Amino acid sequence: MLAPVGQGYNHSQPMGRRHDQIMPELTAWIERQRVFFVATAPLAADGLVNCSPKGLDTLRILTPRVVAYLDLTGSGIETVAHVRENGRVALMFCAFDGPPRILRLHGRGSVLTFGDAGFADLLARFPELPGVRSIIRVDVQRIADSCGFGVPQYEFVGERDQLAKWTAAKGDAALADYRKAKNAVSIDGLPGLKPPFG
């Protein structure tokens, strides 16, 4: 049983609790978080593990066991490449204000891009954000939280506007060229985005 909103942990509650589903209280807590982190890794033992922060309004809980987030254009393509290779992905949320809590969602991911079946319908569930290059859909296999006592408190000031300005300044054609140059393969040489890149 999760603690009520605003109550958080106390010393009588177990740390590292498991949940069968993303229930409404947990959904509400996730939706209040301004940032989350995505971790993936290639299969190769010497491959590089990746962890990426995600902000803006990019996450949706589709069902109690399925989540999805918008993958916006950036200089790397590690998550897409790793998910396409092996599907393993973990999302981590942590409270930077209010009662402490860390939540991890482990699961199997899939990558949807423009033209893929279901992409347009899923995209419609998100706000219009600049630079969308894919959607990562995660079938959640494990839901677990922990104390978060060691996470510092921060005050949210606002979202950054640099991505929107950068995307608008580039325009569609230049953005496609950028993705072709930066997002076709991962730093370990795994396939990333596929043509067309715009």
Report the top-level CATH class of 17-148+158-182.
Answer: mainly beta
Identity at 22, one-letter amino acid code: I
pLDDT band at 10 (very low <50, low <70, confident <90, very high): very low
Contact indicator for 91, 105 with CB cutoff of 8 Å: yes
pLDDT band at 9 (very low <50, low <70, confident <90, very high): very low
Dist CA 100 CA 91 (whole Å)? 17
Dist CA 76 CA 58 (whole Å)? 18
Domain residue extents for the chain: 17-148+158-182
pLDDT tens digits, 87-128: 999 999 999 999 999 999 999 999 999 999 999 999 999 999
Dist CA 52 CA 78 (whole Å)? 9
pTM (2 d.p.):
0.91
Contact indicator for 131, 172 with CB cutoff of 8 Å: no
Q: Which residue has the tokens 């930077």?
A: 96
Would you say how long the chain is, in residues?
Answer: 198
Compute CA distances 30 → 105, 107, 134, whole Å: 11, 16, 21
pLDDT tens digits, 16-38: 899 999 999 999 999 999 999 99
Nearest to 154 by CA among 34, 70, 31, 45: 34
pLDDT tens digits, 144-166: 999 999 999 999 999 999 999 99
Residue 87's contacts (CB-CB under 8 Å, 6 or more residues apart) are 108, 109, 110
